[in-house]
Amino acid sequence: MNARTLGQPLDRVDGPLKVSGQARYAAEHPADDLLHGSVICSVIARGRITAIDDSAALALPGVKLVLSHLNRPPMAQDDESYEDDDAADGSPFRPLFNARIRYSGQPVALVVADTLELARHAGSLVRISYEQQPHATDLREALSEAHAAPAELPKPRGDADGVIAGAPLRLELEYELPCEYHHPMEPHASTVIYQADGSLLVHDKTQGPQNSQRYLADVLKLDPSRVRIKSSFVGGAFGSGLRPQYQLPLAAMAALKLQQSVRVTLTRQQMFTFGYRPRAVQHLQLGADESGRLQGLVHEVIAQTSRFEDFTEHVAEWSGMLYHCDHVRLAYRLAPLDVYTPLDMRAPGAATGLYALESAMDELAWAAGVDPVQLRLTNYAETNQNEGKPYSSKELRACYQQGAEAFGWSKRSPQPRSMREGNQLIGYGMATGVWEAMQMPASARASFTADGRLIVASATCDIGPGTATVMTQIAADVLGMDPSQVEFRLGDSSLPKAPLQGGSFTVSSVGSAVREACLALADKLCEAARQWPEAPFSNGAALRFSAGRVQQGEDASRAVELSALLARHGSLEAEVQAQPGKQRERYASASHSAVFVEVQVDEALGTVRVTRVVSAIAAGRVINPKTARSQILGGVVWGIGMALQEEAMIDHDLGRCMNHNLADYHVPVQADIGDIEVIFVEENDSIINPLGSKGVGEIGIVGVAAAVANAVYHATGKRIRQLPITLDKLL
């Protein structure tokens, strides 16, 4: 491949559509005679519905239906009879399945009317009676009821407990994170267009159109060929669209029952009634020698889950791989509560586990009297000890070096509370980040139009990272074309199979498929040119396609133009499925980062402001540094919010989130953010995939919360081990 397109900061190919308002999102697609649905949610956390009085609502002109468990269409009866690519172990929740209430906020009815305003007003007139049962929503009260998570944790190595007991330096620490919610800009919505033949065309907010298609077909017992899901544009998701959310089956059930198109959009408050990053309590024990070299490590996690599913993440595993330690014991348990099942949320597990590990490593550095960067270099892991494998590539040392230099880490005064500007205490903190570099099977199709435009297609979607742009770059690079002549089609369940967009594996998975499809198309073009009697090629000569022509080697005089080939052969296309390479199996693979943070803490008020961040990232080959930088910026901002602001306030008497709006559930805004510098460390990886790319969606957030917390300690001398770090805790 040439380097004309890859690695260039190409503007987003869909940017003009988005900024001009021409990009249509799930709730913006028109349909004839479209009806609108408004969801009614449970006000109790556990119990059952005893009666539904919808007479006042149905008496209103224009109200078409009050859908509930009493009158819904048929639904799959067997808990295991439908697929969901991101489902947890257990019995998946199905809205309106029966009278049982499993959590506060559970959808219990859908009011459908001519307008959204009428549907919402009618919903306020529906009277639902409940038989309430005792509930439990407080993780702290349920710690003793936790059971082992159905996760494949690495087996203990060595004798961690024994070694820690005899270590010169011993730390025993506890950290806690609250529930956090995704809150993408676009709320979840589904526009179900009921077609004349009874099939459904659905515009859904999802991270996987084919996953939503399978789910809807299975749970409502429909022929998959009669369900088509489109998600051309997605206004952010961060994991909230990995599982089909309840507006999708509700809208589909209403459309099937009424044989009319229906749209259901969740309110911002209802965005608090499904998945979230789970509250977790983490215990760490570290044993080290006087220099801070780890001798033993124990990381135990208890996180909340629902009573009907065991949601698991990779929380503790990172502690067994990020630093070299021969004696490690990891444990992960789940406490079932009367809540909805948690859901993957940007860097699931890693953002949680690394907050605790990297805070603990900072505490170890202070205990040993060692610079935090030096402590991490002292404990640097050359291999992944969890897997017993070397890394396909690892430039973490360069992240430390380049990040520290750009940040000015050497200017740090070691003592807490020793740096100040007026009444502002200044603190420096840092942390390491890591995220697994995965690749999933994926398919893509490449074809030329009659006028020579390249069309590449895959059923992936674009939740905001710039997927359409980088796939355009990959395709253009392979075939030596100008990106303006390439169109990437996505967000449609009818396109070649693709995995969910998540886990930072879209470029490595779908990008590899796009590359292979374009190579296969080039081969077809060369073969077609070879079969042309008038072609000016020597017998058996090597041919290649580039820049709109098939030519013999480097001899531009021996060439056939693409336009001539297409005129002779008509459309040419190739479709392939890309698989992870066998060479990956011998190696561990991961992205790494080093995050450096400066905070200012008002000594009198306890307010914290992050003034500077430097994030140095090693993630293989960066296809588009502009869109990749934006991903890291977003991750850093989210990490700052995780450290200082984000917290779901649960009233455990009601079992309900009380700050269920964006006025009271605090997230960072522009005024909260100081200077952020992103450094992409050069990292060449010929093993990970032919593109050499690892993905950058998650790595930007990992470690940021710990770096902020460590900086706050350096500024104030106070160690806050319960996020978020708010002024009441500091004062």
pLDDT of residue 556: 81
pLDDT of residue 89: 78
Tell me how far apart the alpha carbons of residues 8 and 625 are, in angstroms, rounded to a whole number.
7
**H runs (alpha helix) in 372-511:** 372-378, 396-407, 467-479, 506
Tell me how far apart the alpha carbons of residues 256 and 415 are, in angstroms, rounded to a whole number.
67
Q: H-helix or E-strand containing 302?
A: strand 294-306
Catalytic (active site) residue 534: no
CA 617 to chain centre: 18
Q: In what order do the strands lie in the sheet with 424-436?
A: 420-421, 424-436, 590-602, 608-618, 675-680
Does residue 539 contact residue 552 with C-beta atoms inside 8 Å?
no
CA 416 to chain centre: 36
Tell me how far apart the alpha carbons of residues 42 and 621 are, in angstroms, rounded to a whole number.
48
Which residues neighbour 102 within 8 Å (Cβ) at sequence distance 6 or greater? Answer: 46, 93, 306, 307, 308, 338, 340
Q: How many CB atoms lie within 10 A of CB 185?
A: 10
**Closest C-alpha to 308, from 349, 273, 343, 339:** 339
Task: Please return the burial class of 114, using the count of CB atoms within 10 Å of its CB with bins 0-12, 13-18 and 19+.
Answer: middle
Question: Among positive and negative, which fits the CA dihedral 366, 367, 371, 373?
Answer: negative
Q: Can you give the C-alpha Rg of the chain in angstroms?
A: 27
Tell me the β-bridge partners of 334: 147, 303
Low-confidence ranges of the chain (pLDDT < 50): 1-3, 78-82
Q: In what order do the strands lie in the sheet with 549-552?
A: 543-546, 549-552, 555-561
Q: Domains of the chain (ranges plus CATH)? A: 35-134+185-237+241-272 (3.90.1170.50), 276-438+585-729 (3.30.365.10), 440-579 (3.30.365.10)
Catalytic choice (363, 395, 516, 698): 698
pLDDT of residue 61: 98
Does residue 700 contact residue 634 with C-beta atoms inside 8 Å?
yes
Q: How far is CA 619 from CA 432, 438, 613, 680, in A?
A: 14, 12, 18, 8
The Cβ-side half-sphere exposure at 140, using a 13 Å CA radius, reads 9
Which residues neighbour 715 within 8 Å (Cβ) at sequence distance 6 or greater? Answer: 416, 417, 419, 425, 426, 427, 599, 600, 601
Phi then psi for residue 14, to 5 deg, are: -100, 5
Question: Among positive and negative, which fits the CA dihedral 44, 50, 54, 56?
Answer: negative
Q: Quote the pTM value.
A: 0.96
pLDDT of residue 62: 98
Number of H helices, E strands in the chain: 16, 33
Which residues neighbour 685 within 8 Å (Cβ) at sequence distance 6 or greater? Answer: 392, 393, 589, 620, 621, 692, 694
Q: H-helix or E-strand containing 209?
A: helix 209-219
pLDDT of residue 557: 84
Tell me how far apart the alpha carbons of residues 689 and 514 are, in angstroms, rounded to a whole number.
13
Asked, as a colleague might, if the bond just before 533 is cis with ω within 30 of 0, I would say: no
Tell me how far apart the alpha carbons of residues 106 and 270 are, in angstroms, rounded to a whole number.
9
Tell me how far apart the alpha carbons of residues 109 and 120 are, in angstroms, rounded to a whole number.
12
DSSP state of 72: P
Q: At CA 342, angle to CA 338 and CA 348, rounded to 5?
A: 155
Tell me how far apart the alpha carbons of residues 131 and 148 are, in angstroms, rounded to a whole number.
32
Q: How far is CA 456 from CA 203, 513, 561, 575, 692, in A?
A: 21, 10, 20, 9, 21
- What tokens were used for 418? 């020793």
- What tokens were used for 481? 């074309």
**Closest C-alpha to 436, from 492, 378, 387, 366:** 387
Does residue 237 contact residue 205 with C-beta atoms inside 8 Å?
yes
Q: How far is CA 216 from CA 179, 209, 240, in A?
A: 28, 11, 17
